[in-house]
Structure formats: structure tokens, C-alpha cells
Amino acid sequence: MKAVVFIDVQKDFVKGGALAYGYPYDDIVPNIVKFARKCRAEGCALFATADTHEKTVFAEGSDVPAEGYLATLEGKRLPVEHCIKGTEGHKIVDGLLRDGDTTLIPRGHIVQKNTFGSRNLTGAITFAIMRDMEEPIDKIVLCGFCTSICVVSNALYLRAQFPDTPIEVVENLCGDIDEASHKAALAVMRNCQIDVVTESVE
């Protein structure tokens, strides 16, 4: 069985979001949703990650963050609050979780993470195999945001945890900061024996 992982396809990372991807220039979200529907119809196991941060709290009478996103290392180096738990930007985009009455990504297949890569993603896939699936995972496919940050982080983590399982990244269903970052991340993944593919969803 094929496992398809949608990395951080959340409202803060798409066009108009707090950290909207810059490349490609077109809106790829409709094609990501079409791809999810296609994969579900083919009987694939669908998973998603959700970047998840806490709202920044400042010390009383101070502009120094005491806790929350801006108090983390990531927040200090990228001081743009995004994917704050409970906000609209934290939500996975419309249409990715459900298609009418059909559930595309079940609740137990959604992994919240507070940093780029998720150790819990491999656990979710492994647990789903043990609990729900009659077949083992024979391929893992990834797409989402951002290619050079969270997509590559999770792809490399999955490569380490599933060393003999083919892994693919769908390059035309990934968005990134810019084209150079996107291509550099794809090169790293190719070097680590992750196959870079394109997907026709028209």
C-alpha cells in the first residue's frame, strides 16, 4: 500500500497566508486537493502534518517574549508568527481533509508538530499499518510546504526510519520560499535516494 503525506498544507503557508510560499507563482492548492482525492480513490493511506505553535506571551511590561513561538529558536530566527494553535492560519486548507461525505485524511492520521521534522510522523504511519491496514507500506509519497524546510526534513527522517522503502516527493505539488531553495532541496533529496516526480492532476 502507498502512504501519501501532505506536509503542512495549512492556510498560513498558502497564498495570502502569514508565510505564503513564493514559488511556484501560481496557486497549487487546488491541484494538491485533486491529488488527495485521486489517492483516496486509489486506496492509498493518507496522512498530513500540521505545523503547530503557541501564541507568544511577553513578560509584563516588556517586549521580550517569555514563552510561545517568538521565544523559541525558530521564532528568534524567523520572527513571523504563523500556524498558531486555534487560529485560522493553523487550519489545514479546505477540501484536503474531506471531500463531501468522504473522509480523505482520518483524524488519527494528522500529526501536529512544533518544528520542521516530526518524529511522530513515522509513528503514525507505523501504528496505522499495525491497526488498520492489511498490507504493509511499499511506497511513501510526499508533497506540501515548504520544500526546503519541512518537506525535506520529513523526507530525510522517513528515509532514516524506512531505509528500504521507496520514497517520492512530488515536486510540482510542493511550494517553497523561492525557486533556488526549491531546486536545492530537490537535489538534496535525490542524493539521499528519494525520487523526485511530477504528478498530472488535470
What CATH number should be reported for the domain holding residue 137?
3.40.50.850
The residue assigned the cell 511530477 is 198
pLDDT, tens digit, 9 for 90 and up, residues 101-157: 899 998 889 999 999 999 899 888 888 776 766 778 899 999 999 999 999 999 999
- The total number of structural domains that make up the chain: 1
Domain assignment present for 71 = no
Tell me: pLDDT of 69 over 90: yes
What separation, in Å, do the N-terminal and C-terminal C-alpha atoms of the chain show? 24
pLDDT at residue 35 in the model:
97
Size (the chain), residues: 202
Separation between Cα atoms, residue 172 and residue 24, nearest integer Å: 8
Q: What is the mean pLDDT of the chain?
A: 94
Provide the 10 A C-beta neighbour count for residue 108: 12
Phi first, then psi: give them for residue 191, nearest 5 degrees: -60, -25
Percent of the chain with pLDDT over 70: 98
Separation between Cα atoms, residue 177 and residue 198, nearest integer Å: 19
Domain assignment present for 128 = yes
pLDDT at residue 31 in the model:
96
Structural contact between residues 125 and 62, judged by C-beta atoms closer than 8 angstroms: no
pLDDT, tens digit, 9 for 90 and up, residues 41-54: 999 999 999 999 99
Domain assignment present for 126 = yes
Write out the residue range of the structural domain in which residue 13 sits.
2-53+85-197
Domain assignment present for 58 = no
Side chain identity at 43, as an amino acid letter? Answer: G
The residue assigned the cell 489545514 is 92
Tell me: pLDDT of 166 over 90: yes
pLDDT, tens digit, 9 for 90 and up, residues 186-198: 999 999 999 999 9
Domain assignment present for 43 = yes
The residue assigned the cell 496505522 is 128
Task: Dump the DSSP string for 186-200.
Answer: HHHHHHTTPEEE---
